[in-house]
Amino acid sequence: MGERRAVIIGGGIGGLSAAIRLSAAGWRVTLLEQNSALGGKMGEIRADGYRWDTGPSVITMRHVFEDLFAAAGRRLEDYLTLLPVDPLTRYVYPDGTTLDIRRDLAETISQIAQIADDPRDAEGYLAFLAYAARIHRITGDKFIYHDPPTLWKLARTPLRDMPAVDPLRTMDAAARSFVRSPKLRQLLGRFATYVGASPYLAPATLNVIAHVELTG
């Protein structure tokens, strides 16, 4: 068999990951990138002593990066030092209210109880987290860790699991079933931005993203 060759267009995280895995598997890889630096969205702009991220500013699913380095016979910790972020996110609302999502769930729940319009919303937030974790448990292998999802993959989900996957409601409708405070509904709807979608249109299955971000 002749030498296997691959040309990858784009040196973002996806392109770099593909190049690393193919190269480790014995392919001869050519990576094409139009910009002066690799990294794609994980770039930065510097001006007048300030620095701005051009894309993601946090890393989730650390194990995916560890697996990538392992595929190349390397260890992530030999090249990168990942620092825990706390708070994970800070939400600032037009009325001046702030809400920090902390690494300590109890601290987050305490803050939610203070800003929520409904005293039941703290428990509702916990129920939402359990709901998102359940979606991840059912769909993670099919939708996150392998090839892009298709209708055929969805059809292969056991019928008993379909209600838990929640494909027929929107993300916003699902959030409303757990919390009543507009601020918290906005918080939960934000996860639609990961895929450039609207929480008022995107299927509630995408609430799995909340589990991925909030658990790192």
pLDDT band (50, 70, 90) for residue 142: low
* Phi and psi angles of residue 200, each rounded to the nearest 5 degrees, phi first: -85, -10
- Alpha helices for 13-169 (secondary structure H): 13-24, 62-71, 105-115, 121-139, 151-155, 162-165
pLDDT band (50, 70, 90) for residue 134: very high
pLDDT of residue 11: 94
Domain boundaries, the chain: 5-78, 89-215
* Phi and psi angles of residue 142, each rounded to the nearest 5 degrees, phi first: -80, -40
Bigger pLDDT: 102 vs 143: 102
Give tens-digit pLDDT for 157-204.
666 666 678 888 999 999 999 999 999 999 999 999 888 899 999 999
Give tens-digit pLDDT for 46-95.
999 999 888 877 788 888 999 999 999 999 999 999 888 889 889 999 99
pLDDT of residue 150: 63
pLDDT of residue 6: 96
Q: Give the architecture (CATH level 2) of 5-78.
A: 3-Layer(bba) Sandwich (3.50)
Pairing of strands 50-53, 44-47: antiparallel
pLDDT band (50, 70, 90) for residue 215: confident
**21, 6 in Cβ contact below 8 A?**
no
Bigger pLDDT: 44 vs 145: 44
